[in-house]
Structure 1
Amino acid sequence: MSSVKQELDIVESEFMQIYLHEMYSLCEGINRECKEIFREATVPFGHNLLSVSPILHSRIYSVLIYAANLKKLAFPTRHRKKNEGTGTYKLRNQRADLFEEILNELPIKEIKNSKVRNTLEHFDEYLDESNVKLDKKHNKEKLKDKHGFAAYNMAFSRWETFDRKVYPIRLYIAEEKKFYNLDWSIDIGKIDNEAKLILERLNDLELLKGKESGGLLIPLGVEQQENE
């Protein structure tokens, strides 16, 4: 009898379906939140949208969190982490290979963009940096010489809502479906479309087991033990 331990095959593993259902659920979450964002921030015909909506920004943040988790699930880092076990390291690379094959040739780009989410997670630090730029003593190209206003936690229909340039501090532009935070931006519309492409691919491949996504009851050798 061989004493060589067989490597875990992710496709044959107990939790294979959870990986797939998690991806499906994250994409559904993105689409659900984006639908509400686009509904709330509809550009009124012949008028400008100018609103303060904490709920809208909460939904945007949810989209970015879903996208971040989707990125980690489907496009994990391949280098070995400090103190990481061999089995976990190899399984993570199997997962990367698996989703690379499943999502082959899909144009997934914006979901991988993590910079704006980082500016939200470390908002205090980025806000300090921007505040320093307003100080004449510390920056020759002062923000207040370039911008008439700073818009915080707001939604505009378009940049032309004001006749002077606006500095965005968590600002959503409905016409573009883009979210701006300080010097960075992300396209919420593209994230929504990319999530739809992933859902279509999962449905086409018919990989998910179960009547609906989001929950599973997985037997862990119970039947085998009862039959012994």
Structure 2
Amino acid sequence: MNDVTTIGFDADDTLWHNETVFALTQEKFADLLRDHTDPDHLLDRLLEAERRNLKHYGFGIKGFVLSMIETAIEVTDGRVPAPIIARLLHEGREMLRHPVDLLPGVAETVAALAGSHTLVLITKGDLLDQERKLAESGLGELFDGIEIVSDKTPKVYTRAFDTYGDGAARALMVGNSMKSDVLPALDAGAWGIFCPSGIDWALERADPPQDHPRYRQIDRLSDLPALLSVVQSR
């Protein structure tokens, strides 16, 4: 890691809270349909709809809202009342207006690393929503590059680190998703740093790599400078 010149950051649940907003909306979704369907497997049906719709709508709030509406129609055999559909649309708009809440230590950590490394934000999701959150976060000017992508693959990391840095071999990616932030970055030849957020989306879970020389885990983002300092001082 002593050759690392470029650091890639995930956004949602790495820099700011995100999954908590989805979780709260899911609770409202279940409450709205409580009198219309068996609640025991409702969220499983929603998750399956989200999985099925990723290839159509991609990641983000808009696809989530469409999946909620689709699930409501399915579980009620098409009898879901129009006011419930309207309420789901309202909840989606509220999610898109939700204020950005940085995770502890993020602002200080990103600012500190901006003085010594090339920083790239690599995130997926809805373009307008991610641009809004980045603007409201106050972190935008600290990044040398911004990549808002439809999905995170080894090719995406290779291209991003070639464009903004010295290639994947001298890059590090840090994020809360093993599936999206760590494993494909390792496949591209970069370091993969897992920073769990405590609440994650089921579709972002994956097993950690076994004994991979470029894999590390930290408890919080503010631990990253110390990890770099220890390794680079050797």
If the length of structure 1 is used for normalisation, what is the TM-score?
Answer: 0.28
If the length of structure 2 is used for normalisation, what is the TM-score?
Answer: 0.28
If you compute each CA radius of gyration, which structure gives the higher value, 1 or 2? 1
